[in-house]
Amino acid sequence: MSDLISRVVYPSLVFFVLILLWQFGAERSLFPAYILPAPSTIALRVWSTAPIMFGHAIVTTLEIMCGFVLAIFLGVFLAWMLAYVRLFNQAFYPWLVFIQVLPKVALGPLLVVWIGVGFLPKALVSFLLAFFPVMIDTLAGLKSVQRDYVFLLRSMGASRLKRFLYFELPHALPYIFASLKVAITLAVVGAIVGEFIGADRGLGYVLIVATGTMDTVLIFVALVWISILSLLLYALVCLFDRFFVSWHAAARHDQIRDAA
Amino acid sequence: MRPDSQSPAVLNSHVALKDVAKAYGKGNKAISALEGVTLDISRGEFLSILGPSGCGKSTLLMMIAGLLVPSHGMIEVAQRPVTRPLTDVGIAFQQDLLFDWRTVLGNVMLQADMRDLDRNAARAKAQILLERVGLKGFENRRPWELSGGMRQRVAICRALLHDSSILLLDEPFGALDALTRDHMNLHLQNLWMLERPTAIMVTHSISEAVFLSDRVIVFSRRPGRVVYELPIELPRPRTVEMRDASEFVRFQHQLRQAIEVPQ
């Protein structure tokens, strides 16, 4: 019961108190509506624009998912190459780090010139932002393999592929999922910023349009949708995490209990 | 064919080490882990290697398995030089190396999955092995639900699943307390006597070495070399009571002296 209070009731209380203060301030005109419209106004607009906004949200979600999934596969694949192909590591690791050091959203305009303002450049910016943490964490996971495990599997005559599928990949899964929690939020940023650069649909496009017309309420509406979308995607990753690496949490919990 | 290859002793030889040495590092910084090890291990023999920490015992085991390459000398298994990792071998390491994402049965079955063995036959064998070491009913548990001793028993069952002719044991009970260890020795003898593979065990425990082995060899400090060899002529199966027998105690005494006073 006390657990429920601390985890649900307190945070909700903070939320409602802030909203109430905000509403109160707006009604007393403590700040102009074009800077900070009342929560009730925003809520009504969210409701009235829901069908249109839903369409934009779908577009942005698809861009995010596309970039995110690509980031997972390419991130894991590149990590595998870096961990096990020495020449690849020597030749490419510095360049992969260099790409990370670049502000990747700055590549957005170039992508627009190359492949237009459609779906693809947004997914690519999303991918560019998301893939690096996946690659680095997966690499850390693969490199944390102990020598004796490799000896054990080699003595069993396990092929390279089997060693990866049966041991190295599951061993790295907790690392991979930790990185995915970072990557999914970056993927959202990538898609929105991609839409800033040039788009005719999507939540980022709505933000740009709302800014152009000084429609502060619409900006808030878009922010509400982006927040909900981010939260849902993050929750989805956590759900997969629980499902695929439940053994890790359980084993870890056991170690902590033993240590206590 | 060489004339001496007809003699029974040579025919019976399963693992042969000829002047084996291993050094880590290169040039002046090279550290010699072991030197001049010559050994002949018969088929079906249980050999233990005793010695101080860092004397290259584990290195020797990994070289027999073909997982490390000797700097000098030659290792032969079944009259063939070892040039790559042996697969006709089961290994139990100091750590149990169980996979957290597999069940107890799944961990034993890893051996079958890696070797593409017939799954039904392997599963039946796995269940027999687990039952033998008192783990019946634990097949679907996860490794973290087990005690250290139980985990190591699972690891040994995994090493024995595929009926290999060589069993390599790298201090498998090193992390266990003395009472659990005595118990594990019984389990191991039990399992070993099923198929009697050639077993080579590295250990720090004199009593464990005497209890399990047909022969014990003692290594010196680094660089490790064989300084003492003692055949253990006790009937099998060995029992807990035998640990107190005067012969057993005498063997232990001889080994302890060999370790304390290296030649």
The proportion of chain B whose per-residue pLDDT surpasses 70, expressed as a percent, equals: 94
At a CB cut-off of 8 Å and minimum separation 6, what does B141 contact?
Answer: B103, B104
Q: How far is B217 from chain A (nearest CA, A)?
A: 24
Confidence of residue B1 (pLDDT cuts 50, 70, 90): very low
Q: Name the CATH superfamily housing domain A48-247.
A: MetI-like (1.10.3720.10)
Q: Which of A149, A153, A155 sits opposite B89 (nearest CB)?
A: A155
Q: How far is B159 from chain A (nearest CA, A)?
A: 9
- List the beta bridge partners of residue B16: B40, B76
Say if residue B6's pLDDT is above 80: no
A-chain CB neighbours of B67 within 8 Å are: 151, 154-155
A155/B85 CB distance under 8 A:
yes
- List the beta bridge partners of residue B75: B17
B91/A155 CB distance under 8 A:
yes
Q: How far is A82 from chain B (nearest CA, A)?
A: 23
| Best to test chain B binding among A150, A156, A162, A168 (most B CBs inside 10 Å) | A156
pTM: predicted TM-score of the whole model, two decimal places? 0.83
B100/A155 CB distance under 8 A:
no
Mean residue pLDDT of chain B comes to 89
Q: Using one digit for the tens of pLDDT, what is the confidence trace for A66-95?
A: 999 999 999 999 999 999 999 999 999 999
Say if residue B31's pLDDT is above 50: yes
Task: For residue B86, give the chain A residue with the closest CA.
Answer: A155
Q: Which of A157, A245, A247 sits opposite B115 (nearest CB)?
A: A157
d(CA A133, CA A124): 16
Domain locations in chain B as residue ranges: 98-162
Confidence of residue B121 (pLDDT cuts 50, 70, 90): very high
B-chain CB neighbours of A254 within 8 Å are: 144-145
For B206-220, what is the mean pLDDT? 93
Q: Using one digit for the tens of pLDDT, what is the confidence trace for B34-60?
A: 888 999 999 999 999 998 877 788 899
d(CA B239, CA B95): 26
For A173-187, what is the mean pLDDT? 95
Interface of B with A (CB under 8 A): 62, 65, 67, 85-87, 89-91, 93, 95, 97, 99-101, 110-111, 113-115, 142-145
Domain locations in chain A as residue ranges: 48-247
CB crowding B154-174: b at 16 or more within 10 Å, else e: bbbbbbbbbebbbbbbbbbbb
A251/B86 CB distance under 8 A:
no
Interface of A with B (CB under 8 A): 146, 148-149, 151-158, 162, 166-167, 170, 173, 245, 247-248, 250-251, 254-255
Confidence of residue A1 (pLDDT cuts 50, 70, 90): low
A-chain CB neighbours of B116 within 8 Å are: none
| Best to test chain B binding among A145, A147, A150, A152 (most B CBs inside 10 Å) | A152
Residue B16 structure tokens: 């042969």
**How much is the pLDDT for A255?**
65
A156/B62 CB distance under 8 A:
no
**How much is the pLDDT for A201?**
93
A-chain CB neighbours of B143 within 8 Å are: 251
SS (H, E, C) chain B: CCHHHHCHHHHHEEEEEEEEEEEECCHHHCEEEEEEEEEEEECCCEEEEECCCCCCHHHHHHHHCCCCCCCEEEEEECCEECCCCCCCEEEECCCCCCCCCCCHHHHHHHHHHHHCCCHHHHHHHHHHHHHHCCCCCCCCCCHHHCCHHHHHHHHHHHHHCCCCCEEEEECCCCCCCHHHHHHHHHHHHHHHHHHCCEEEEEECCHHHHHHHCCEEEEECCCCECEEEEEECCCCCCCCHHHHHCHHHHHHHHHHHHHHHCCC
